[in-house]
Structure 1
Amino acid sequence: MRVLSILAVLAAGPVAAQTCGGSWSDFKDGLLAEAVARGVAQADAARFLAGARQDAEVLRADRAQGVFQRDFIDFSRRLISQNRIDNARAQSSRQDAIFDRIEAELGIPREVMLAFWAFETDFGAVQGNFNTRDALVTLSHDCRRPELFRPQVFAAMELAARGDMDPDRTTGAWAGEIGMVQMLPGDIIENGRDGDGDGRVSLKTSAPDALLSGASVLASLGWAPNQPWLQEVVVPAEMDWSLSGTETQLTTDQWAAMGVTARAGELPDLPASLILPMGRKGPAFLTYPNFDVYFEWNQSFVYVLTAAYFATRIGGGQIYDAGTPDAGLSGDQIRQLQEKLQARGYDVGGADGILGAKTRAAVQAEQQRLGLPADAWPTPALLAQL
């Protein structure tokens, strides 16, 4: 889970400028000073930071995210199996009471939470064994994304001060998330909820606590109760492909007028974007406003689309029509493409070999410029033309 939180507890008092790098000792001293300036008791902050060590494995994990270089069909087939669907449905029955509560109070369908639970920790079985404090301090010291992780260090201090985290023993994912649905400390402070009624929020050991807390995060990010998030559609052989992509929203009546039809059921009366993860010849989906909330949970385009699709499968939806998409690019070729796009002035979020939303938008713009079908799916022919 990758949610940036705005914490009231962090807003009080003067805030030092974001810093990173330098000696480990000096960096920890800077964290201590900023924590005190934010209102954390010096003894609490010092106790939290006393044993913090730099974790090289965390940095290796941060740099090794090649799985997101896979295309949608490959990625989704690797993550979704009939066994995982069966397990999700079994967990739906096992945790029926908390899912009923989530649906009644927050309007979030159980299949949405089941998909996240499955992907994040395989229903709690694989929660990560990285020391949470060390992971957060290491990633704050690293200069790649300190603006994301530094605030979470202070949130973790708050959790430790109130007895909800043991800095020396609490473990989780390499990026500092904790529990069955992998929540960052700031999100735990804002949205941690007691789902089993024992008076505590235990995200590592209590499925009801974890699921209700995760659903609370989605609700706080704007999930519209009892609305769809994703629907598979059939697209015509020809249309204005430049209208596809997350940046364009039209009414479902407008999409229908262009020949877009639901593969099953009816199109709801909602604004929608047409997503073609592997171009006009591959799978096709309409995404609705709730789909945007997925990007607040995770920034990876292929992960978000797969999680949203998996939720529809858990709910009884059919397997998508893979179509016959044109050959795509390897990770190294995507990196070459990104370098060429950056040279043309596009912001693609860095040349990382991952076909994310920014790279797709840049590809679509270049396809339009070159008079190609602007479906945001990069091919070897496009790379050669650039």
Structure 2
Amino acid sequence: MQRTATTTGLGSMVALMIAALPAYAQTDFSQCLARLERTALDSGVSAGTVQSVLPNVEPRESVIESDRNQPEFLATFADYLGRRATNERISQGRALYAEHRSLLDELTRQYGVPGHYIVSFWGLETNYGRYLGNVPVFDSLSALACDARRSEFFTEQFVNALQIVDRGDVEPDVMRGSWAGAMGQTQFMPSSYLRYAVDGDGDGRVDLWNSTPDALTSAANFLRGIGWQGGFRWGREVLLPDDFDYGAAGRDQRRSLGEWRRQGITDVAGRRIPDLDMQGAIVVPAGQRGPAFIIYDNFDVIMRWNRSEYFALTVGHLADRIAGAGPLANPPVEDGPIRRDDVVRVQEYLVENGYDGGTADGIFGSRSRAALRALQRDLGLVPDGFLSQELLRAIGLVTD
């Protein structure tokens, strides 16, 4: 009985502690909201707007969980591209490109951005406006602003979102988006909305949720604002010679097109690339088991929209398909998922066997790739610096 009583007492104590945690969390969140309110008022947001929004803001732990989530498996280019540049999305993009051709041609004339790129961004961000996200923007931004890791950035975004309401563009309850606070058909953060969103339908307001002309015009304005170069492509798929040095690949290794031409790089039809006065870099997102691309300055512009190389390549490829191009000549081969734990194990293997791969931190950067290329040469594998199931088998980390 004594043991039962003691156990029951501890259980009650734990229950009381758990029950108390939300109250403490709520207190901390209330204090953070008070800070956000002061910051907004100091930034010139009207008291009426602040009072109409803040009482309805709710804490969302799921936002923090999403922000900190690390997937078990690394994304592969084959999986990323296959899920996003689908035949259905390509056909829908072509249909919408035709439907909005008049507007898109005008945007090309005004902003210098070809319409098929604008439609590609639209398709990848929200499936052409079909999925805008359903998290209240003020809930997501306040949760992230109250988290210590990136509080300054998201505090600014929270205030910017209030400024959007303050200028009368949209009502607060319309402002729903991703867990990270991206909004509308083209998923603008509030700061980008304030700087680049424009009225494309002439109704005197900017509404990226319900107005497709506003969304597409704003996307064109944003791309021009971050450096889009009219008259130039993002890049193109190319063929590499059999003796290509994969150590020369990477966004940071730009060379003149003439130099790449002399190295035997051709387009997918086998024609030598043009000897133009411009620079490009070779990227191989799946190593030797997939396509190679030569990328130009507009590729870097796409990465200012989203810093994922996979995203930028998919934008470019989807834009090409919308404009009528065919599929990749060398589509990526799905070799099987790579666990994050496997990345660490490979890095540890490199160090233990005398290859300078740096710290085993699970981040496979340029130093790790250089070390892996050296290992691959020693093993008689193609030295492309990419993790694969073949490599894991070769060094005994997995077995068939």
Residue 90 of structure 2 aligns to which amino acid in structure 1?
Answer: I
Evaluate the alpha carbon distance shift between residue 29 and residue 337 of structure 1 in structure 2; reply closer, same or farther with a 3 A threshold: farther
Counterparts of 1:237 and 1:333 in 2: how far apart (Å)? Answer: 32
Match of 2:261 in 1: 256
Deviation at 1:57, TM superposition (A): 3.1
* Residue among 23, 31, 45 paired with 2:28: 23
* Residue among 314, 328, 332 paired with 1:320: 328
Residue 375 of structure 1 aligns to which amino acid in structure 2?
Answer: D
Counterparts of 1:58 and 1:120 in 2: how far apart (Å)? Answer: 19
User: What SS is found at the alignment partner of 2:315?
Assistant: helix
* Residue among 221, 224, 238 paired with 1:219: 224
**1:251-270 per-position Cα deviation (integer Å, ceiling 9, x unaligned):** 11111111111114763522
Residue 103 of structure 1 aligns to which amino acid in structure 2?
Answer: T
Deviation at 1:87, TM superposition (A): 1.0
Structure 1 residue runs of 5 or longer lacking an equivalent are: 1-20, 352-357
Counterparts of 2:349 and 2:164 in 1: how far apart (Å)? Answer: 43
Residue 170 of structure 1 aligns to which amino acid in structure 2?
Answer: M
1:297 aligns with 2:305: yes
**1:105-160 per-position Cα deviation (integer Å, ceiling 9, x unaligned):** 11111111111111111111111111011111112222343344221111001111
TM-score relative to the length of structure 2: 0.80
User: In the alignment, is the contact (CA less than 8 A) between 2:290 and 2:330 conserved in 1?
Assistant: yes
Counterparts of 1:314 and 1:45 in 2: how far apart (Å)? Answer: 43
Counterparts of 2:242 and 2:388 in 1: how far apart (Å)? Answer: 19
* Residue among 273, 280, 298 paired with 1:267: 273
User: What SS is found at the alignment partner of 2:340?
Assistant: helix
Match of 2:9 in 1: none
* Residue among 362, 375, 381 paired with 2:384: 375
Residue 82 of structure 2 aligns to which amino acid in structure 1?
Answer: R
Higher deviation after alignment, 241-250 or 70-79: 70-79
Counterparts of 2:242 and 2:77 in 1: how far apart (Å)? Answer: 21
Match of 2:23 in 1: none
User: What SS is found at the alignment partner of 1:111?
Assistant: helix
**1:264-289 per-position Cα deviation (integer Å, ceiling 9, x unaligned):** 47635221110101113421111110
Match of 1:309 in 2: 317
Residue 386 of structure 2 aligns to which amino acid in structure 1?
Answer: W
Match of 2:95 in 1: 90
**1:136-187 per-position Cα deviation (integer Å, ceiling 9, x unaligned):** 1112222343344221111001111112233344212221111111111111
User: What SS is found at the alignment partner of 2:364?
Assistant: helix
Counterparts of 1:347 and 1:109 in 2: how far apart (Å)? Answer: 43
Match of 1:231 in 2: 236
Number of aligned residue pairs: 359
Match of 2:111 in 1: 106
Deviation at 1:340, TM superposition (A): 4.9
Q: Which is bigger in relative contact order (C-alpha 8 A, separation at least 6)?
A: 1
Match of 1:4 in 2: none
- 1:139-154 pair list within 5 angstroms: 139-154=144-159
Counterparts of 2:72 and 2:257 in 1: how far apart (Å)? Answer: 33
Deviation at 1:198, TM superposition (A): 1.8
Match of 1:355 in 2: none
Deviation at 1:49, TM superposition (A): 2.2
Counterparts of 2:301 and 2:34 in 1: how far apart (Å)? Answer: 37
Percent identical across equivalent pairs?
30
TM-score relative to the length of structure 1: 0.83
Evaluate the alpha carbon distance shift between residue 228 and residue 324 of structure 1 in structure 2; reply closer, same or farther with a 3 A threshold: closer
User: In the alignment, is the contact (CA less than 8 A) between 2:237 and 2:293 conserved in 1?
Assistant: yes
- Structure with more of its chain in helix, by fraction: 2
Match of 2:168 in 1: 163
1:184 aligns with 2:192: no
Counterparts of 2:40 and 2:395 in 1: how far apart (Å)? Answer: 52
Counterparts of 2:132 and 2:296 in 1: how far apart (Å)? Answer: 30
Q: Which has the larger radius of gyration?
A: 2
Counterparts of 1:102 and 1:36 in 2: how far apart (Å)? Answer: 37
**1:204-234 per-position Cα deviation (integer Å, ceiling 9, x unaligned):** 1111110010111111110101210020000
User: In the alignment, is the contact (CA less than 8 A) between 1:328 and 1:378 conserved in 2?
Assistant: no
User: In the alignment, is the contact (CA less than 8 A) between 1:251 and 1:271 conserved in 2?
Assistant: yes
User: What SS is found at the alignment partner of 1:302?
Assistant: helix
Counterparts of 2:296 and 2:323 in 1: how far apart (Å)? Answer: 17
**1:25-58 per-position Cα deviation (integer Å, ceiling 9, x unaligned):** 1111222222233333445434432221111332
Counterparts of 1:134 and 1:319 in 2: how far apart (Å)? Answer: 41
Match of 2:205 in 1: 200
User: In the alignment, is the contact (CA less than 8 A) between 1:246 and 1:273 conserved in 2?
Assistant: yes
RMSD: 3.1
Evaluate the alpha carbon distance shift between residue 325 and residue 361 of structure 1 in structure 2; reply closer, same or farther with a 3 A threshold: farther
Residue 178 of structure 2 aligns to which amino acid in structure 1?
Answer: A
